[in-house]
Amino acid sequence: MQPYFVVSLAILGIAHAEGNAPTCQQFMKEMSDEMRLDFLKKHNRYRSKLALGHVVIGEEPPNSLPYNLTYAHTASKMMDLEYDCDLEKSAYRSAEKCHHVASSSEKYDENVYVIKDTSLYNVALRIEKMMAINSWTSETFYINQTAESVPYLSNNTISNFANVAWETHSKLGCAVFKCYEGKITVVCHYAPRVKKNDEAIYTVGKPCKECGPDFFCHRDVGLCENFTQAAYQSQDIH
């Protein structure tokens, strides 16, 4: 039996200055560009939160207080994410295979998340709440950062977090596919492919400090944008 129902979306960089939502080929009428833009904002919000040093890492906090929280290092050149329809297409091709684990490619890094509820209404709600990204970024509790680095170690179960947080990932596309076995597969592709064992996920330092001369960075956001995006409003990701 073949999979029979498709929802596709792209999660992109910060909103365009003129307020346009990301646009890709529509696979179903229920998915709007405005929804894509909303998902995009939430994805970049996490990178901003990480760059500014507001992400808690280490062991999961207990239910009782007091508890001394440990925060991830700030990032000095965290890129914002731009929209890419080709990545959305490749994510769709991967999602329609209904695999539960990420595949490998020379062109992109991949995250996979499986949703068991196949109700169309619930799918929309769950995607809007970014359950996939919440799951991927929850791996921060397994980060083993040093005084000067946040290294990627393949045996530390932080592969999904690393894809969301890798500083040089600049493009992103995602797809959602309803599989015949009653599950929904969410796939996101990140480019360029950079994930390597023992390398730093991002450069530790003062936010915006190392973006470079060809980039703009708002100190309240902490993400490096090229000058073609510099007119974007900072409130678009807050």
Mean pLDDT of 123-128: 59
The answer on pLDDT for 232 being more than 70 is no
**Which of 48-57, 104-113, 127-136, 144-153 is modeled with the greatest confidence?**
48-57
Q: pLDDT band at 18, cuts 50/70/90?
A: very low
The answer on pLDDT for 155 being more than 80 is no
DSSP 75: B
What pLDDT does 6 receive? 40
**Half-sphere exposure of 202 toward its Cβ, with a 13 Å CA cutoff?**
37
Of 93, 85, 70, the residue nearest 144 (C-alpha)? 70
The answer on pLDDT for 106 being more than 80 is yes
Q: Taking each helix axis from N to C terminus, what angle separates 120-128 and 33-51, rounded to the nearest 10 degrees?
A: 30
Least confidently predicted of 3-12, 129-138, 159-168 = 3-12
Mean pLDDT of 127-134: 74
Task: Give the DSSP H or E segment for 70.
Answer: strand 70-71
Q: pLDDT band at 120, cuts 50/70/90?
A: low
Phi-psi region of 223 (alpha: psi -120 to 50; beta: other; left: phi over 0): beta
Mean pLDDT of 192-202: 89
Higher pLDDT, 4 or 163: 163
Residues present in the chain in total: 238
| Mean pLDDT, the chain, whole residue set | 78
User: 5-61+68-237 is classed in which CATH architecture?
Assistant: 3-Layer(aba) Sandwich (3.40)
| Calpha distance 184→26 (Å, rounded) | 18
What pLDDT does 54 receive? 96
